[in-house]
Chains A and B, each alone.
Chain A
Amino acid sequence: MAATATTTDTVQPKMWMGGIEPMKASYGKLMMWFFLISDTFTFSALLVSYGLVRFSYPAYAGEVADFTFSDLYWPIPEKVYEAVPFLHGVELPLVFVGIMTFILIFSSVTMVLAVEAGHRMDRAGVEKYMLWTILGGFTFLGCQAWEWAHFIHGTDTGTVVRELVNGAWVEKTIFGANLVENQYGPPAFADFFFFITGFHGTHVFSGVILNILIFYRSATGFYDRRGHYEMVEKVGLYWHFVDLVWVFVFTFFYLV
C-alpha cells in the first residue's frame, strides 16, 4: 500500500491526500479556480459600479465629429483614447489599446503552449514559451505605463471647466486627469479609469512575477525532479484569467 501511495504522489498529481479526486481536478487547480471566482467578484464589483455611475450621468447627445471634452456629460471613449506613442498630434482612436489587447492575447497563447510543452515534459519548450509570456507581460505593462502617463498629462489644449472655488465660480483650464480633476469628462470617469486599469495592471504585474518564478524553477529542473509540470498549468490559469479580465475591460471601458 505504501508503495502505491508513493506512486500516486508522483505520477498522478490530481490525487488529493485522502486518495480521491474531487471534480477530477488536483487540489491546487481547484483552489486556483475558486480563487479566480473570488477575483471575478472583485473585478465585477468595479465594472458594475462603473455601469451604475456611467448611466447616472448624461450621455453625449450630439454628433461624434463635434465632440468636445466637458465635465457635463460622459465622454466617448474613442475620443479620449486616441494617442499612440511617437505619433504626437496624430489622432488614432483606440489603436494603442487594440495593440495592447493583441499583446495580451498573444502572451496567453504562448502561456498555453508552455502548458502543452509541460505535458510532454519538454523542458526547453516550457522555458521558451515562458520567456515569450514574460516578455508579453512586460510589454503590456510598459504600454499601460505610457497610457497612464498620457492620461495624467492630458492633451495640448486642455479643457476649460467652471469650478466653485471658495464660493465663487471660476473658469480655468485643466490638463489631464487625477482623482479630483479630469479634463476628459466627469471626475468619476478618471477615477474608474485609474481603479479598473490599475487593478488589472496590478494583476498583470503579479502574473509576470509568478511567470518568472515558474521559468526559474523549470530552468533549474525543479519540475523535472518533481515529475510533472502542473505548476505551469496553475499559473497559466491565473494568466488566462488576467487576459479574460482585459477582454471585458476592453469592451466595457474602451468600446461601449
Chain B
Amino acid sequence: MADIHSEHNSDNGAAQRKQIWKVFYILSILTAVEFLIAFTIPQGTLKVSIFVGMTIVKAFYIVGEFMHLKHEVKSLIWSILIPCIFVVWLLLALMLEGGSIFSLR
C-alpha cells in the first residue's frame, strides 16, 4: 500500500502523489454521479440510501487517505470511529422522532 504520508521513499514521494490524485479522481467522480442521480432517480428511500452510501464512501476516502486515519494504529482508528457510530444512532433515532411529531400534529 502506497502510504501517502510515509517519509523517505526511494522514489521521492512519486507513488504517494499518484495515490493522492487517484483519491481526488474517485471523489470527483462520486460527486458527479451524485449530481446525476439527483435528477434521474425519483424521490424516495432508494435515492436517499444511494446518497447516504456514496457519502460514506467519500468520507472513507477523505478520512482514510487524506487524513491518514487508515494508516494509523488500531486504537486511534477505533477511538475516532466508535463515537461516530453513536452519532449515527442519534441521527436515526431523532429522524424517527421527527416523523412521530409529524403524525401527532
Contact = CB atoms under 8 A, between A and B. Distances in A.
A247 B63 CA distance: 12
B79 to A, nearest CB: 8
A45 B66 CA distance: 25
Given A255-B34, A256-B51, A105 B91 contact: no
For the complex, would chain B's binding face be called helix, strand, loop or mixed by DSSP majority? helix
Interface string A113-135: 10111011000000000000000
A247 B91 contact: no
A22 B55 CA distance: 31
Contacts of A24: 72-73, 76
Nearest to B55: A251
B24 A105 contact: yes
Contact of A53 (B16, B17, B62, B98): B98
Contacts of A93: 38-39
Contacts of A109: 20-21, 23-24, 66
B75 A119 contact: no
Contacts of B80: 33, 37
B7 A78 contact: no
A23 B98 contact: no
A44 B90 contact: yes
A57 interface: yes
Contacts of A256: 47-48, 51-52
A3 interface: no
A115 B62 contact: no
Interface string A58-88: 1000001000000000001010000000000
B61 to A, nearest CB: 10
Interface in B50-105: 51-52, 54-55, 58-59, 62-63, 65-67, 72-73, 75-76, 79-80, 83-84, 87, 90-91, 94-99, 101-102, 105
Contact of A115 (B5, B28, B63): B5
A56 B51 contact: no
A241 B66 CA distance: 10
A244 B4 contact: no
Given A51-B98, A55-B98, A251-B52, A98 B35 contact: yes
A112 B4 contact: yes
A109 B24 CA distance: 7
A52 interface: yes
Nearest to B87: A44
A54 B6 CA distance: 44
B1 to A, nearest CB: 15
Interface of A: 23-25, 30, 33, 37, 40-41, 44, 47-49, 51-58, 64, 76, 78, 93-94, 98, 101-102, 105-106, 108-109, 111-113, 115-117, 119-120, 233, 236-237, 240-241, 243-244, 247-248, 250-251, 255-256
Interface of B: 4-7, 12-13, 16-17, 20-21, 23-24, 27-28, 31, 34-35, 38-39, 43, 47-48, 51-52, 54-55, 58-59, 62-63, 65-67, 72-73, 75-76, 79-80, 83-84, 87, 90-91, 94-99, 101-102, 105
- The 9 A-B pairs at the shortest CB distance, nearest first, are namely A55-B98, A56-B101, A52-B98, A56-B98, A52-B94, A51-B95, A23-B76, A251-B55, A44-B87
20 contacts: A24-B76, A30-B76, A33-B76, A48-B94, A51-B91, A54-B98, A64-B43, A105-B24, A105-B31, A116-B16, A116-B17, A119-B13, A120-B12, A236-B67, A241-B67, A244-B62, A251-B52, A251-B54, A251-B55, A256-B51
